[in-house]
Each structure stands twice: as C-alpha cells, then as structure tokens.
Amino acid sequence: MSDAYASSTETSEGRVFTVGGQDWDQFTDELNPDASERVVVNMGPQHPSTHGVLRLILELEGETVTEARCGIGYLHTGIEKNMEFRSWVQGVTFCTRMDYLSPFFNEATYCLGVERLLDIEDDIPEKAQVMRVLLMELNRISSHLVCIATGGMEIGALTVMTIGFRERELILDLFELITGLRMNHAFIRPGGVAQDLPPGALDEIRSFVALMRKRLPEYAALCNANPIFKARLEGVGHLDLEGCLALGISGPVLRSAGYAWDLRKTSPYSGYQDYDFDVITWDTADAYGRFRVRLAEMEESLRIVEQAAARLAGLEGAPVMVADKKIAWPSQLAIGADGMGNSLDHIRHIMGESMEALIHHFKLVTEGFRVPAGQAYVPVESPRGELGAHVVSNGGTRPYRVHFRDPSFTNLQATSVMSEGGAVADVIVAIASIDPVMGGVDR
C-alpha cells in the first residue's frame, strides 16, 4: 500500500537514493539525517555587505553556517597581463587601479621592484622617498576609514559610516591637491614621484593632522566601550595566531592575534627606519581586535605624516626624481596653468634645447627605457597586509611578467574558518573584519 504522506525521496519501505555518478563523499553526505534540513544560499556577488563583487556560497542549517566558500573573479580586469604590453612607466597607470582603496601602495611596490632591477635604489632622492611615505600613510588612514565606516554601516552603526566618509573626503582632497587626482594617481613612478609638492600643500597637511587628532577620539567614544558594538564584534570571526600563520594571513588580522609583524619595521623600505612609530597589536584574535588595531594604526600614521611633513619643510626645491635623464621622464613634466597637460614653458624647453634632446624625449616617451634582465620582489605593508610585486624583465622596454601578491586574495582564505559554526549574520562581520578589496583580489 502506498503512503500518501511520503515525500519523493521516501517510500513505505524507507528512503530511496538515486546515484548518478557523483563522488562517494557526496553520496554519503546525503545519508546524514540532517542533510535534508540544510540549504545552500548565495550571498552576493551583488550584495551590499560583501565589500564589492564577492560571492559567498553558504550552507546553512537554520541560522548556523555549516560551510562557507568564496567565489571570486567577478571583477577580473586583466591588469597583470595588460602590463606586459605597456612600457615600465605606463605599468604604474595599470597597477594603481588594482586595490582602489590603497592605490599608492600598488604603485610603490611595483616601482620598488623596477628600481631594484635598475639598481638605482640608492639614487632615489630623499624628497621623493619622504613624499612616498607621506602619501602612503595618508592612504593608510583613508583605507582604514573606509573599512571602519563600511563595517559600521553593515551592523547598523550609521553614524560611524557618515563620519568615516567625512574624514576620508578630507584625505582625498589632499590627494587631489598633491597629485591632481582623487584616485588612480600613477604618481609614484620608477625613479621617484611625478612632481613636487604644490605651494601650500604642507600647510593643508598640518591642518588635516590637527583636525584628525580631534576627530579620531569620536570613533573611540562611539565604539570602543559601546556594549552593543562590542557584543556584535567580540568573539566573532575568531582566528588565532596558529591559523593566521598556516594560511599566510598578514596585516591587521595577523596583528589582532598578538603578532607584531609589520614590514615597515621588520623589513623597512623607503626610509621607514628613520620614522618613530609603534606596531599595534591586540590579543583577542577576533573582529573587535581588528577594529581596535586599525583605529590605533591611524594614530600611528598621523605621527608618521607629521614627521614626513617636518622633513619636507627642510627640502624645499630638492629634486623628486633620479638625475639619470634616461629614466627620469615623464616625472620632469610641469602642469599647465589650467591644471591640464604640459606647461608651454616646459614644451618650449624640450623643443628649443636641441634636436638631439627632442629625439631623446620622443624615444623615451614612445619606447620607454630598458630594464636589465632579472627578477625582483619588494613587498610593502599595505592597509590589508603584505602587498608585493614580483617583477620580471627580459631586458626589454616592457615587463616580461608582473605578478602581485595581494593581501586581500590571501586573507580571504580565512573566510571559512571565521564563519563556519557561527550565525549567518556573523558572516558579514567576519568579512568586514578581513577588509577585502575585490579589485586587488581579481586583478
């Protein structure tokens, strides 16, 4: 007799399984009596809480996450491949667009690698090095502000979001003043930086530092001891030091587990050894600890910015590009009075100097300089961790290969460990504490 209440997988004699060539593990999982209670859902890639076009495949049992996997590739741009078809200087314009929240770090690691291949690391002018540090630390603050602001928004702390973007806007104004652009600057170039600081830039930087010293305590007052905020973050996205080391995690996630690993201290570049600052750590290895690390790191970046501004005040009129004219273009350009293109005075200088100078300028612009064959890897400490460019040259005017070790890509490995066993709502907090930027993941 048939059972009118039996489901399609059941009969009066028990459950029936149809094997269609799948893996044995998949078949045995179906024997689990709880398997029918689980549901697989897509979170993203068009989800406001996944920090860009990140797709999460979540297996849920009620509100509990039993399995979490990342799906990436929705923002693939082919930047690394495109760089093989452009000159060494043009490559900066591509790589600055990868991690779009920290473009100066993308430019810096690439240029440091090119400079090592050119063997001109010791020839970079002091002012260029100080300007690089200044811009990177301002960029670190702006990136952390976005992390804290969007993370706050995702858990309902809208005031944190509004004041976070308010402060970031001030930093983007500084970037526009110094480089002419708010994002995608291509300002750090092999041999130095594109151009000198404009008049009044140091005064604007000092005003910003003074203002930020007043406003950063607002975040601490809103969040640090807020019982609702702490309850939402404490114990969520836990990943201890052993897990971080096993997965190659770096940046604030690693330092929140108590390990003071910061490339600015452990493997200094661009003169970071000459600045006084502390490496911030925490001991909770959770989302709350990562928030506190980033908040304190902004204070340390302000210290570095102050020191860099003081040094730049004593370098008025100093060069910002290597003296070798076979490498120095296009960083000797001067912008016109309208802020666009090249100034007429500079064009007259090139055109009127000599025919040889004009030919040299033309070949340098169209063909670019040659880089000796070899390979180099010079990592920097980006807001998300170790960012490095593996630069390979075959002796030509274009890179043979450039591959970036992006911390967002590596740190996303922690998604499963942080999320599985927790509530589905805590997945959002765990992802926000990793702070991935998908432009850097997909490249």
pLDDT in tens, 241-284: 998 999 999 989 999 998 999 999 999 999 899 999 999 999 89
C-alpha 437/C-alpha 63 separation (Å) is 27
C-alpha 361/C-alpha 355 separation (Å) is 10
**Residue 106 — very low, low, confident or very high, per pLDDT cuts 50/70/90?**
very high
pLDDT at 34: 56
What is the mean predicted confidence (pLDDT) over 130-151? 92
In a domain, 14, yes or no: no
In a domain, 360, yes or no: yes
In a domain, 192, yes or no: yes
**Residue 19 — very low, low, confident or very high, per pLDDT cuts 50/70/90?**
low
In a domain, 28, yes or no: no
In a domain, 437, yes or no: yes
What the block records as the tokens of 97 is 């667009």
Q: What is the CATH number of the domain that holds 203?
A: 1.10.645.10
pTM above 0.75, yes or no: yes
**Residue 442 — very low, low, confident or very high, per pLDDT cuts 50/70/90?**
confident
CB atoms within 10 A of CB 216: 18
Check whether 36 has a pLDDT greater than 70.
Answer: no
In a domain, 16, yes or no: no
More confident position, 346 or 116: 116
DSSP string, 365-397: HHT-----SEEEE--EEETTEEEEEEEEE-SSS
What the block records as the tokens of 400 is 């043979």
Residues 305, 178: contact at Cβ < 8 Å?
A: no
What the block records as the tokens of 373 is 């064959």
Q: What is the extent of the structural domain holding 101? A: 79-442
Total count of domains within the chain: 1
- Average pLDDT of the chain to the nearest whole number: 85
In a domain, 1, yes or no: no
Q: Any idea of the CA torsion for 202, 274, 248, 80, to the nearest 10 degrees?
A: 50
DSSP H helical ranges for 122-250: 126-154, 158-179, 201-219, 227-233, 241-247
In a domain, 55, yes or no: no
Among the listed ranges 25-34, 101-110, 111-120, which one has the minimum average pLDDT value? 25-34
Cis ω for the linkage preceding 330 (within 30 of 0): yes
